[in-house]
Structure 1
Amino acid sequence: MEYAQASGKLGEPRQSAHDRVLKLLAVSEVGVIGALALIVLLFYAMEPAFLSDRNIRAIFTVVSFIGIIAIGQTILLVNGEFDLSVGSVAGLSAVCSAKMMTGVALPVPVAILGGILIGAAVGLLNGVVVVRLRIPAFIQTLGMLFIGQGLIQVVTGGRPVYPLPTSVSAIGFERPLLGLGWSFVFFIIAAVVADFVLRHTVLGRNMYATGGNPEVARLVGINTDLYKIGAFVLIGSLAGTAGMFVMADLASGTTSIGSGWELAVIAGVVVGGVSLFGGAGTMAGGLVGILLLQVVQSGLVVVGVNANWQQIAVGVIMVLAVGLDILRRRFFIAGGSREEVVGVEASPIKSE
């Protein structure tokens, strides 16, 4: 009994300190959270105003907008695909919804739902083209990015769409939780639900299987095409939802909504340990990665670093994150520790 308590289970070899460190590093959130803590301390030491209430609220407000889309991007990456059009989809959904309110005078709930459905429709189109027509996601979603940007200009004529009904601006101005808006409330709820689904449900395990080894997943009865198309629809819907919140926050449908979000979302979730190659990563890690990138950008602004260097910093961080992802796959997945990398317990995959 004493031996069993000391070593964990009878018959299992003792783990060396080296093995325990490797197992800890295989959990992607550990490194990201550690890096986040160090970066926060560094910027605070350089400029105490970095941790002011105003700056913290600003960071989490931006995180809530981008994080809503990052939830969908994480799920899509787990399924083995990605979407570069999310920023333009958010912007297109927002300006179309604003036009529905001002030009067609639709009721606010109908216009908001219409904007979200536009995002879902774009996601469905992306999914069908990528999955059914076998067009690479990079080509299809990059093309959709430019199509979306063009449609935004067509819909708005290059001008902001306003004034919006007061009920819309009221949604943007309300601060129901710790001085943060409804977008943050939605973000937290959606993140918790998505994390639970990925970690603790058959649906989540099938998603990991779809992205990790689609051929084997199909052999055991998983409809991988349906999972991938569904993930595209989800990220389109979430991009549309994020666009609605930004529109409410600005009290107008502007052409700049969603601009630059594409790479910010992918960079953040990859920094958080979500693999670009599919089948690995966690929701918590991806969202902490989004927070880390926003902390870096905000910190560089606070300490007075030129905006061009901010973009360089984000690019360098993303390249390093992808490199680490490749190393993790080589040393941990090949070594039989896939469950630590994926972030869920290994268990039988159930067919639909």
Structure 2
Amino acid sequence: MSQNQLDWDKLRVFSVVADLKSFTAAAKKLGESTPTVSRKIDDLERKLNCELLLRTHRGVELTEAGRVVEAHVHAITEKANSIWYDVCALDIEGTGRIRMAAGDGVASHWLTRTIPEFLDTHPGIELELKISDEEVNLLSGDADMTIAWEQPRHRDLLSQRLGVLHYMFFASPEYLAQHGEPESLFDLQGHTCLLHSNYQNQIDAWSTRAHDLKKALSYSVITNSGTVLREVCARGGGIAVLPSYVAELDPERLVPLALPEIAPIRFWLVYTQRMQRLSRGRIVIDWMRKQFSEDVSPWFMDTFVHPAKRSRPDGEQSDQAKSARSS
């Protein structure tokens, strides 16, 4: 490397620190330790013979030199992305990789049912599915598309509304046989309850009913894993708040309780304009829309209908639901 040549890795690290205004947050995003990130910034400042960042009690602030370097790094990144976009726009029909980011739940439980069929139909497409609760930046290349809980406002991002998740209460037949079924939300205070940590963070925005429940109930298990929540509930660990579609995924082990819906949450598929231009992007977008359409499943409609009333056309409860309650 020439003595005057800058290390792009250190410039990239600087850009993340400048964007997040925190060494710790940048280290987490980059998958490196905070001392390593700090050392790379120190090396870059020595190389440029100037101070780029000011460490303050509020976090990190850019110096005048730091703002100049940040502008150059953004320009270089945009130029590199232009090469990527221009070349990838010349894609071969129905081939290539799609990087999708989604939170724990919808992707890992609902979409996985039909991914094998999708891959059989489109063998040239490679799906890279990242399950993470962290917000992704599609414009910076973190992923190609994501499932989001808010509709994006950026002009360079496109979105398709996928539907509504209806959260409600479930328990196993064994738990109900041993502890009985709550007949009202008030009765939940005497039961063992389970909760996803994301629900705990979002619950104030759900509804007045959910806000009141947060104060009234205590939870014996709080987890960041939908799989853990579902398994503990299915094995008799307690009553869990789960999306209504779980009634279809695990009908033998999980009984939807005859209680009101606790929260309807809208969600979107978000992607870049580049994804819409690519044939593989359009294929995945169409497939995603279909998985949540009313033609495929009623679980994601705007209006909540209790799972027990979907089992039979006349609105009667399913045999499974009836037997669980009579045990």
Q: TM-score, normalised by structure 1?
A: 0.26
The structure having more radius of gyration, on CA atoms, is 2
Q: Which has the higher helix share?
A: 1
Higher relative contact order (CA 8 A, sep 6+): 1
Q: Which has the higher strand share?
A: 2
Q: TM-score, normalised by structure 2?
A: 0.27
